[in-house]
């Protein structure tokens, strides 16, 4: 297991607003229970576990019901939706709907659009239809919509506007510039910044962060992916959030305690209140 060392603990608790504990185990061998414990040691006291397919959604529900510090999000990822046979997708969505009504499920996601890995128009249409379905489910259940958006900024906003923006929306791993940030903020979204904000070329992300109100920022790992500097290229885990949180505080030129406090309270607000 070639994982980075634990960083210096944060001075105030922070929440990992988007994680895949099951995928992290597959990639790095880090057991979910150990991952949760290591995160707590450095001040990352809560985790939002996201399921992207039926197996991942089932795991997310089980994890949230096993560990008090974990809540779940369930959905069919847009790329998975585009790859499913026409007879498979409705059955998968029906199971997602059943899971979504469980108390420890706080989010519908990650759902959205991905024009990077899915490039054909038929796949794009399937993604749009699935995204609209998930938006309706978030509205019906009153749960937070977690949006995956890769190379699809304008289309994501078009679908949101057409279907109606749910009460709570999180832009997972925000990847746009300041103009797109303003457009998302105008729709009431929280913007979640992950490891890529620490990458040297991504000045547009830092510009977006600077114009995001302090009460609208979140942070996440998307573990085991998107590991922040100085460990880019190695497997990610929730315990590495301190690197991203400290970097964000520097970009914002704000006290680290203040930023951490906002990140914690914003996550509670974004996902329907405290848990644990």
For the segment 132-185, what is each residue's pLDDT rounded down to a tens digit?
999 999 999 999 999 999 999 999 999 999 999 999 999 999 999 999 999 999
146, 156 contact by CB (below 8 A): no
Q: Is 243 annotated as a binding residue?
A: no
Query: Domain 14-270 has what CATH class?
Result: alpha beta
What size, in residues, is the chain?
276
Assign 103 a pLDDT band (cuts: 50, 70, 90): very high
Pairwise CA distance, residues 182 & 193, whole Å: 15
**Range 91-102 average pLDDT:** 98
pLDDT of res. 1 = 62
Pairwise CA distance, residues 49 & 23, whole Å: 11
pLDDT of res. 2 = 76
Mean pLDDT score of the chain: 97
**Range 227-238 average pLDDT:** 97
Report CA-CA distances (Å) from 93 to 14, 63, 100, 141, 144. 32, 20, 10, 14, 17
**Range 222-227 average pLDDT:** 98
Residue 5 has pLDDT above 90, yes or no: yes
pLDDT of res. 168 = 98
Q: Residue 250 has which token pair?
A: 């520097």
For the whole model, what pTM was predicted? 0.98
Q: Which residues pair with 70 in a beta bridge?
A: 47
Q: Is 172 annotated as a binding residue?
A: yes
Q: Is 115 annotated as a binding residue?
A: no
Assign 250 a pLDDT band (cuts: 50, 70, 90): very high
Q: Residue 68 has which token pair?
A: 């008090």
pLDDT of res. 248 = 98
Q: Is 148 annotated as a binding residue?
A: yes
- For residue range 15-71, what is the model confidence (pLDDT) as tens digits? 999 999 999 999 999 999 999 999 999 999 999 999 999 999 999 999 999 999 999
For the chain, the DSSP string reads --PPPP-PPPSS-EEEEEE-HHHHHHHH---HHHHHHHHHHTTEEEEEEE--SHHHHHHHHHHHHH-TTEEEEE---HHHHHHS-TTHHHHHHHHHHHHHTSTTEEEEEEEEEETTT--SHHHHHHHHHHHHHHHHHHHHHT-EEEEEEES-HHHHHHHHHHH---S-EEETT----HHHHHHHHHTT-EEEE-GGGGSTT-HHHHHHHHHS-GGGEEE---TTSSPPTTSTTSPP-GGGHHHHHHHHHHHHT--HHHHHHHHHHHHHHHTTS---
**Range 9-14 average pLDDT:** 98
Q: Is 12 annotated as a binding residue?
A: no
């Amino acid at each position: 297991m070639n994982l980075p060392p634990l960083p210096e603990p944060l001075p105030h608790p922070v929440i990992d607003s988007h994680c895949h504990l099951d995928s992290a185990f597959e990639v790095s061998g880090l057991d979910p229970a150990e991952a949760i414990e290591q995160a707590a040691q450095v001040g990352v006291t809560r985790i939002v576990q996201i399921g992207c397919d039926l197996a991942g959604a089932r795991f997310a529900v089980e994890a949230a019901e096993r560990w008090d510090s974990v809540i779940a999000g369930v959905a069919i990822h847009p790329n998975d939706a585009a790859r499913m046979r026409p007879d498979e997708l409705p059955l998968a969505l029906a199971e997602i709907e059943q899971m979504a009504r469980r108390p420890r499920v706080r989010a519908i996601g990650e759902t959205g659009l991905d024009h990077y890995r899915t490039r054909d128009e038929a796949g794009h249409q399937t993604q749009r239809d699935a995204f609209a379905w998930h938006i309706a489910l978030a509205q019906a259940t009153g749960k937070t919509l977690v949006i995956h958006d890769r190379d699809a900024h304008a289309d994501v906003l078009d679908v949101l506007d057409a279907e109606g923006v749910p009460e709570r929306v999180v832009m997972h791993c925000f990847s746009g510039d300041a103009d797109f940030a303003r457009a998302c903020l105008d729709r009431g979204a929280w913007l979640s910044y992950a490891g890529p904000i620490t990458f040297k070329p991504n000045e547009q992300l830092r510009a977006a962060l600077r114009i995001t109100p302090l009460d609208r920022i979140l942070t996440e790992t998307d573990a085991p992916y998107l590991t922040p500097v100085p460990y880019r290229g190695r497997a990610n885990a929730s315990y590495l959030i301190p690197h991203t949180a400290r970097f964000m505080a520097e970009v914002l030129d704000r006290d680290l305690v203040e930023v951490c406090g906002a990140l914690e309270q914003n996550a509670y607000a974004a996902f329907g209140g405290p848990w644990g």
